[in-house]
Amino acid sequence: MTDDRAHPNRSRSAAAFERAKRVLVGGVDSPVRTFAAVGGEPVFIRRAEGPNVYDVDGNRYVDLICSWGATILGHAHPAVVEAVRRAAADGLSFGACCEAEAELAETIVGAIPSMEQVRFVSSGTEATMSAIRLARAATGRSRIIKFTGCYHGHADCLLVAAGSGAATLGQPNSAGVPKAYAEHTLIVPYNALEATEGVLLAYGNDVAAVLVEPIAGNMGFVPPVEGFLAGLRELCDRCGALLIFDEVMTGFRVAWGGYQNVCGVRPDITCLGKVIGGGTPVAAYGGPRQIMRLVSPEGPMYQAGTLSGNPVAMSAGLAALRACREVGFYDALDAKCHMLTQTLVQSAARAGIAVHAQGLGGMFGLAFSDRIPRNLDDAQACDAKRFRAFFHAMLDRGVLLPPSPYEAMFITAAHDDSAIGHVLAAAEEAFRSAAA
């Protein structure tokens, strides 16, 4: 690890970025990796182990990105690596059935009462777009409701922003999305139950589904207010729409199964990802048999994927979930997360900075604001300039944060006292630096 934490050498990362920009769009394969929201150039990671990642210059960082929540056990967990090694030795992909598919599905179904059957895919985007198609097939309706600030992947109907009103027909917020696609998506502020009811009163006969992150993870960490999710369940039942929980981020991350097992609200369709693949590209959607039987080959809704359910990914997911199922796993993760967030708030206060932090399981958010964010407007009112200063001060002190003030952060079972202590010591200095 570099000794000079004030000015670590990242010359190889800089050179790698210049090389990548010649052949990759923007030098990256996902926009947030560019550091556009925080300034500067991205670090290029060479390897990862436990709670740490190591860049190409040899700098070590305690990782609070954790593959955007996927690596709940820590990087290169021995049980997951061994499961991958064994499966890979027998072949990477068959394009045919394997027993591990059913075994992982049984584990998921056993953990989530609202799911009786699942279909595996390879990304969260595939899961949510398939869930929407399934809801439309089940209801015979066209429109969906989504909430501002909730990200559900890059399908055309989901790359939508609110129009002129608080709850309006959507407008495309990406080039290449036809306006007609966006107009099938209705936009409502997150945590706004009354506004949702108003939209359903106006459009309910044509609303196939209400799609929501039960905990929003793309405006930091924004939990639902009391009664919001239960209210959505009641509204959907009243108008005949389906309720879809996007638990790609929260599934098996905040609790065994997901947040629906915490809040007690059962959706009609659930989308999963990240943790269920143990760090490999796995996602899924599922629900009761009466809904899932509409999916091909049993029903008329078509969806397929060459790499879906491949043996390597299924084996990695099984190994990860076996470890998560150990008694006390989530209690320990949640206690560690609570201690971290509370200590960060206290540290910021000593530097004279208003910060709110909240989390559950191994997922948390850090908002540079004097109030707890409840929706996207609140998140956007946070001090992004101060976050940028804090981000770089932490990076220079060996802590890798998500390079955006609007992303959730994560810890893993591998974040031991030493790793957490490093984060807190770095933050004590970084808050003072950001306050200057």
50 and 65 co-located in one domain: yes
Q: How far apart are CA 63 and CA 246, in angstroms?
A: 24
407 and 319 co-located in one domain: no
- Residue 393, pLDDT score: 97
Report yes or no on 180 lying in a domain: yes
Q: How far apart are CA 279 and CA 75, in angstroms?
A: 8
- Residue 160, pLDDT score: 77
Structural domain for 57, as ranges: 11-76+328-435
Report yes or no on 3 lying in a domain: no
Q: For residue range 1-58, list pLDDT tens digits in order.
A: 333 446 799 999 999 999 999 999 999 999 889 899 999 999 999 999 999 999 999 9
144 and 202 co-located in one domain: yes
Please give the tally of structural domains in the chain.
Answer: 2
CATH of the domain at 307: 3.40.640.10
64 and 89 co-located in one domain: no
Report yes or no on 128 lying in a domain: yes
Give the DSSP letter of residue 26.
G
3-state helix, strand, coil in the chain (%, to 5): 40, 15, 40
Q: Is 253 helix (H, G, I), strand (E, B) or coil?
A: coil
- Residue 3, pLDDT score: 37
- Residue 172, pLDDT score: 74
153 and 260 co-located in one domain: yes
Report yes or no on 1 lying in a domain: no
Q: For residue range 310-352, list pLDDT tens digits in order.
A: 999 999 999 999 999 999 999 999 999 999 999 999 999 999 9
Domain boundary among 272, 297, 324: 324
Q: Measuring CA to CA, how many Å separate 313 from each of 72, 81, 92, 165, 391?
A: 15, 11, 9, 43, 33
* Residue from 163, 156, 168 nearest 195 by CA: 168
Q: How confident is the model at residue 182 (pLDDT cuts 50, 70, 90)?
A: confident
Average pLDDT over residues 212-222: 96
85 and 171 co-located in one domain: yes
* pTM attached to this predicted model: 0.95
313 and 206 co-located in one domain: yes
Whether residue 246 lies in the annotated active site: yes
Report yes or no on 148 lying in a domain: yes
Among candidate residues 61, 190, 203, 274, the one labeled active-site is 274
Cβ atoms of residues 144 and 135 within 8 Å: yes
* Residue from 134, 140, 145 nearest 291 by CA: 134
Report yes or no on 6 lying in a domain: no
86 and 147 co-located in one domain: yes
Say whether pLDDT at 291 is over 80.
Answer: yes
Say whether pLDDT at 191 is over 70.
Answer: yes
Q: How far apart are CA 296 and CA 305, in angstroms?
A: 12
Whether residue 63 lies in the annotated active site: no
136 and 236 co-located in one domain: yes
Among candidate residues 57, 63, 146, 151, the one labeled active-site is 151
406 and 268 co-located in one domain: no
Q: Residue 46: in which H helix or E strand, if any?
A: strand 45-49
Among candidate residues 55, 57, 63, 246, the one labeled active-site is 246
Sign of CA dihedral 171, 173, 176, 177: negative
159 and 181 co-located in one domain: yes
Cβ atoms of residues 422 and 398 within 8 Å: yes
CATH of the domain at 338: 3.90.1150.10
Q: For residue range 153-167, list pLDDT tens digits in order.
A: 888 788 777 543 333
Give the DSSP letter of residue 246.
E
Average pLDDT, the chain: 94
- Residue 73, pLDDT score: 98
Say whether pLDDT at 63 is over 80.
Answer: yes
Q: Residue 212: in which H helix or E strand, if any?
A: strand 207-212
Report yes or no on 2 lying in a domain: no
* Residue from 47, 2, 68, 91 nearest 363 by CA: 68
Give the DSSP letter of residue 149.
T
Domain boundary among 295, 324, 353: 324
381 and 420 co-located in one domain: yes
> Strand order in 60-63's β-sheet?
45-49, 52-55, 60-63, 399-400
Domain boundary among 274, 294, 324: 324
Report yes or no on 257 lying in a domain: yes
